[in-house]
A and B are shown apart, each in its own frame.
Chain A
Amino acid sequence: MTGAVVRPLPDPHAFLARRARWSAPEILFWLSTLLPFWLFPDYLSLASQIAVWALFAISVDLILGYAGIVTLGHAVFFGIGAYTAGLLGKHGWGEPLSGLLIAATAAAAVGFLISFFVVRARHLALLMITIGIVFMAREAANALHWITGGSDGLQGIRIDPVLGRFEFDLWGTTAYGYALAVLFVAFVFCRRLVNSPFGLALQGIRENPTRMLAIGSPMRWRLQQVFTFSAGLAGLAGAVLAQTTETVSLESLGFQRSADVVIMLILGGTGRLYGGILGAVIFLVARDQLSDVNPRYWYFWIGMLLIGVVLFMRDGLLGGLSRLWDRVRGRGA
Chain B
Amino acid sequence: MLRRTLFGTALAATLAAAGAAQAQQTLKIGVILPYSGQFADLATQLDNGIKLYVQQNGDTVAGRKIEIVRKDVGGIAPDVAKRLAQELVVRDRVDVLAGFALTPNAMAAGDVSEQAKKFMVVMNAATSIITTKSPFMTRTSLTTPQLNDTLGKWVAKNGGKRAFTMASDYGPGHDGEQAFQKAFREAGGEIVGAVRIPVENPDFSAFVQRAKDSGADVVYVWVPGGAQPAALGKALAERGLANTGVKIVGQGELTSEEALKSMGDAGLGIITAFNYDYTHDSAKNRDFVTAYRRAYNRNPDLFSVGGYDGMHVIYEAVKKAAGRTDGQVLIDAVKGMAWESPRGPVSIDAETRDIINTVYIRRVERRNGELVNAEIDRVERVKDPVKAAMR
Contact = CB atoms under 8 A, between A and B. Distances in A.
B171 A249 contact: no
Interface string A240-280: 01000111111110001000000000000000000000000
Given A152-B103, A245-B83, A295 B36 contact: yes
Interface residues on B, range: 35 or more
Given A152-B107, A170-B116, A298-B36, A42 B87 contact: yes
A150 B174 contact: yes
Interface in B66-92: 70-72, 75-80, 82-83, 86-87, 89-91
A202 to B, nearest CB: 31
B108 interface: yes
B344 interface: no
A297 B74 CA distance: 11
A309 interface: no
Given A43-B91, A45-B86, A251 B75 contact: yes
Nearest to B133: A155
A151 interface: yes
A149 B77 CA distance: 14
A152 B132 CA distance: 14
A45 B83 contact: yes
A171 interface: yes
Contact of A151 (B70, B87, B111, B171): B171
A153 B107 contact: yes
A86 to B, nearest CB: 11
Contacts of B70: 295
A320 to B, nearest CB: 28
A245 B78 contact: yes
Interface in B145-170: 169-170
A172 interface: yes
B182 to A, nearest CB: 18
A143 interface: yes
A245 B108 contact: yes
A198 interface: no
A210 interface: no
A151 B78 contact: no
Contact of B170 (A151, A248, A252): A151
B104 A151 contact: yes
A142 interface: yes
B320 to A, nearest CB: 27
B87 A45 contact: yes
Contacts of A251: 75-77
B90 A170 contact: yes
B35 interface: yes
A296 B35 CA distance: 5
B172 interface: yes
A295 B104 contact: no
A170 B111 CA distance: 10
Contacts, number: 97
A49 B33 CA distance: 19
A323 B76 CA distance: 40
A316 to B, nearest CB: 24
B118 to A, nearest CB: 10
Contact of A152 (B35, B90, B127, B199): B127
Interface string A125-159: 00000000000000000110100001111010000
Contacts of B83: 45-46, 49, 172, 245
A291 interface: yes
B108 A153 contact: yes
A153 B35 contact: no
A17 B71 CA distance: 48
B30 to A, nearest CB: 12
Given A170-B112, A245-B83, A297 B36 contact: yes
Of the candidates A145, A250, A251, the one having the most CB atoms from chain B within 10 angstroms of its own CB is A251
A170 B89 contact: yes
Nearest to B170: A151
Contacts of A248: 78
Given A45-B86, A49-B79, A295 B72 contact: yes
Contact of A142 (B71, B78, B170): B170
Interface string B84-122: 001101110000000000011001100110011000000
A246 B91 contact: no
Given A152-B104, A247-B82, A145 B71 contact: no
Of the candidates B75, B79, B115, B116, the one having the most CB atoms from chain A within 10 angstroms of its own CB is B79
A153 B78 contact: yes
A43 B88 CA distance: 11
Contacts of A155: 107, 129
A45 B88 CA distance: 11
A145 B174 CA distance: 10
Contacts of A295: 33, 35-36, 70-72
A221 interface: no
A155 B83 CA distance: 16
Of the candidates B107, B116, B172, B199, the one having the most CB atoms from chain A within 10 angstroms of its own CB is B107
A190 B115 CA distance: 37
Interface string B376-391: 0000000000000000
Contacts of A46: 83, 87
B329 interface: no
A150 B170 contact: yes
Nearest to A251: B76
Contact of B76 (A45, A249, A298): A249
B195 interface: no
B197 interface: no
A143 B169 contact: yes
Contacts of A292: 71
Given A151-B170, A246-B111, A296 B78 contact: no
A245 B79 contact: yes
A192 B78 CA distance: 35
A299 interface: yes
Contacts of A145: 170-171, 174
B351 to A, nearest CB: 22
B341 to A, nearest CB: 26
B40 interface: yes
Q: Shortest 9 CB-CB distances between A and B: which pairs?
A: A153-B104, A295-B72, A151-B171, A247-B78, A295-B35, A42-B91, A151-B170, A245-B79, A247-B108
14 contacts: A42-B87, A46-B83, A143-B169, A145-B171, A153-B78, A153-B104, A170-B86, A171-B86, A247-B82, A249-B77, A249-B79, A249-B104, A250-B76, A297-B36
